[in-house]
Amino acid sequence: MKNFVKTDYAACCKYMLLLATILLAGSTKAAARKLTSFPADPVVSVTAVASPLVVTVGQIVNLSAETPDGLEVDYLWTGPSGALIDEPTFGGTFATMTSPGIQTFTVTVDDLQGGTATSTVSVTVLAPELCPSPTASNLQVVGTLGRDKCSIQLSALVSGRHFEFTGPNGYVYSVIYRSCQENITIFAENVKEPGTYTLKIYQEEVVSGPIPGRRAAGDGQYYTIDVGGAACPNP
């Protein structure tokens, strides 16, 4: 008589299903570990930042492009005709404001793999303060040139913003303030040659030329003063 073994098919199926679930879970975890070992590249994005946001014509604004950590990109800043950008291909640069109004700057970043992003920032530029008519009085020579004093000063009581002394042998001494000054005393240093010295007080300043911050002065008034004595002999 043959022995028959009764097979419990239900239990067998449950066992096979459990085994398959365990194997699948292990494969999924391994795949997840494999995927997370290679972090995704950062998304290309940028935020344009300017400081300060309110300036006067002739002043400088700092520009910076904020990008995600680890993102390597090329930068390009563009701006209005009323501003001069120093280094447009740097992430951090500056611009000199040349015209009043709302000036908007745009930075574009490119990861050279097809990813680009742009951002803009606006700056309010105020017209420069207009100084009253420049004046000068009480021009004086402070000291006497001679063997015992090889360098003296010139002084003047002035109102205005931009003051410049010129004299013999190419002497130039300038004093420039950001805002208008009234009834202040200024000094010209290192006057070493006798002769006639001229003080010019410029009424206004305007930005000019390709160099940011370079200035050309407008009309002003001239004053002269004579310096006596004798220059020290050359060593």
d(CA 74, CA 94): 17
pLDDT of residue 206: 46
Give me the CATH topology for the region 135-227: Immunoglobulin-like (2.60.40)
* Equal fold, 47-126 vs 135-227: yes
Cβ neighbors of 136 (< 8 A, separation 6 or more) are 156, 157, 158, 159, 199, 201, 221, 223
**Which segments of the chain does DSSP mark as H helices, in order?**
9-36
Kindly give the confidence (pLDDT) of every residue in the chain, 235 residues in length, as a single tens digit, with 9 standing for 90 and above.
444 444 455 555 555 655 556 555 555 555 444 444 445 566 889 999 999 999 988 899 999 999 988 788 999 999 999 899 999 999 999 999 999 999 999 999 999 888 999 999 999 999 876 666 778 899 999 999 998 899 999 999 998 888 999 999 999 999 988 778 889 999 999 999 999 999 998 765 444 433 333 344 455 678 999 999 999 987 6
d(CA 57, CA 84): 11
| Contact of 46 with 65, CB cutoff 8 Å | yes
CATH classification code of 47-126: 2.60.40.1080
For the entire predicted model, the pTM comes to 0.48
Sequence spans of domains, the chain: 47-126, 135-227
